[in-house]
Amino acid sequence: MRRKPGQLLPLEVEILEVGLALQRQGLTHFHGYSLAKLLRERGGRRSLTAHGTLYRALHRLVSAGLMEASWEDHGIAERENRPRRRLYRLLGAAEPAVARARAAERARPKLGSLQPDLESP
């Protein structure tokens, strides 16, 4: 099924929510692996989000103008003797987008509410 323009997938909403939580703690930038770990902890999952799923969602959020991606400074990575990280930062449009997504989710009828009440006579 093709999704409507501007509509966020559950994982994308989750990523933005994690990003907002980090922002509130004063952390404005995060990288893919740290995000995968936070998503696992938050969702109580056993495994980390798959590479393809995570980076495709991040790519979409950047394309949608909700996040910004930039490469870490060469010097920092060299000093720590590791590959350069790609850092993500939430943009101003992220918070209203999450609020809209959550409101739409609440407005959607739940499967349970559509079932007939078998208990009533």
Partner 1 sequence: MIAPLQAASALSRAWVRLYTARLPETLRDARRAEIDADLWEHQHDRLGSRAAAGTIAAEIVMRTCLGVLDDLGWRLEVLRAARRDSNDGRIPMLRFTTRQTRWMGLAGLAGGLLWAIYLLSLMQRNRSDGVPSWGLVAPVVVAVLLLAGLMGFLASHRERLGPKGAIGVSLLIASMASFLLANTLLGALPAGTGRSLLGAVLAVGFAILPIPGFALIGLALKGPAGAGAFLVAVTGPLGMVLPFVLARLGIVDPQWLLPDSPVNLAYGIYFVLAASWLAVAGYSTYRRAQTPV
- The verdict on 68 binding partner 1 (CB under 8 A) reads no
Nearer to partner 1, 60 or 95 (CB): 60
The one among 17, 18, 19, 85 contacting partner 1 by CB under 8 A? 85
Nearer to partner 1, 88 or 94 (CB): 88
User: What residues numbered 24-63 form the site for partner 1, per CB under 8 A?
Assistant: 31-34, 36-37, 47-56, 59-60, 63
Please give the Cα distance from 16 to 29 (Å, whole number). 12
**Token pair recorded at residue 66:** 């909700």
Strands (DSSP E) contained in 12-91 are: 29-31, 67-71, 86-90
For residue 6, which of 71, 49, 63 has the smallest C-alpha distance? 63
| Count of residues interacting with partner 1 (CB under 8 A) | 24
